[in-house]
Amino acid sequence: MISRIWHGWTTPGNADKYEALLKEEIFVGIGNRHIRGFKGIQLLRREVGEEVEFVTIMLFDSVDAVREFAGEDYEVAVVPEKARAVLSHFDERSQHYEIRAERE
């Protein structure tokens, strides 16, 4: 199992708008792609000084599944134009980790 982690930041004034965009449009669009090996996505949010940080954690069965989502250079961030319009800055590349253990 592969975990894809990405960070983006907004101003406090854009935070709710960005969160709604993720939940109502971007995450739905990812789901509608029916990517083989895509297992789900988590959204984390926290205030950091004068910014709001968002973290997405996506789970995939394999690096091949990540490539189906992001393309051959699978570390490149996938950030739609609507999201770029409300983000202050973001990771240009995502980090990928092999999940070695998990406990409930």
C-alpha distances in angstroms, 4 versus 12, 16, 33, 42? 25, 23, 17, 10
**pLDDT for 7:** 98
pLDDT tens per residue across span 34-69: 999 999 999 999 999 999 999 999 999 999 999 999
pLDDT at 94: 98
What integer is the mean pLDDT of 85-94? Answer: 98
pTM of the model: 0.93
What is the average pLDDT value for the chain, to the nearest integer? 97
Q: Coil, helix or strand for 31?
A: helix
103 domain-assigned: no
CATH number at residue 20: 3.30.70.100
Q: Which residues lie below 8 Å from residue 4, measured CB to CB, with a gap of 6+?
A: 56, 57, 58, 59, 60, 66, 69, 70, 94, 95, 96
Torsion angle, alpha carbons of 39, 19, 90, 44, to 10: -60
Per-residue burial over 40-55, b = 16 or more CB atoms within 10 Å of its CB, e = otherwise: eeeeeeeeeeebbbbe
Domain count, the chain: 1
The predicted-structure confidence for 61-72, as pLDDT tens digits, reads as follows 999 999 999 999
pLDDT recorded at residue 89: 98
Residue 75 lies in a domain: yes
pLDDT at 49: 94
Q: What is the pLDDT of residue 75?
A: 97
> Is residue 81 a part of any domain in this protein?
yes
Within-domain flag for 104? no
